Amino acid sequence: QKEVEQDPGPLSVPEGAIVSLNCTYSNSAFQYFMWYRQYSRKGPELLMYTYSSGNKEDGRFTAQVDKSSKYISLFIRDSQPSDSATYLCAMRLIQGAQKLVFGQGTRLTINP
């Protein structure tokens, strides 16, 4: 079983919809949680970064971490066609070399 699980999709929604992307993980020692956005044939781009539990909001994006359930989410409000990309969750321990463990990525398409 993978250390971080993410539904690979694909997920297709209409423009303006609220999108929910999720990851579960098995290592309770993870403390840093990230969401990356990756456009086709590009490198991953850091979208949101959260330390420990709680919520973080940045414009249309909200990241949630529930450490008791080992579950993280990314919500996209008022989704736009430009949000169409692959979204990757990643996480790491608090100590050490900051090595990231990634989910498989979810391919998202926003239809105009």
Partner 1 sequence: DAGITQSPRHKVTETGTPVTLRCHQTENHRYMYWYRQDPGHGLRLIHYSYGVKDTDKGEVSDGYSVSRSKTEDFLLTLESATSSQTSVYFCAISAQDEQFFGPGTRLTVL
Residue number, 12 or 52, with CB nearest to partner 1: 52
Residue number, 7 or 17, with CB nearest to partner 1: 7
Residue 80 beta carbon to partner 1: minimum distance, rounded to whole angstroms: 23
Position 58 contacts partner 1 (CB under 8 A): no
- Residue 103 neighbours by CB distance under 10 Å: 25
Residue 12 beta carbon to partner 1: minimum distance, rounded to whole angstroms: 18
Position 42 contacts partner 1 (CB under 8 A): yes
Closest by CA to 31, choosing from 48, 52, 50, is 52
Question: Which member of 65, 72, 76, 90 binds partner 1 (CB under 8 A)?
Answer: 90
Closest by CA to 22, choosing from 4, 6, 1, is 6
Can you say how many angstroms the Cα of residue 75 is from the centroid of all Cα atoms in its chain?
9
Say if CB 52 and CB 31 are below 8 A apart: yes
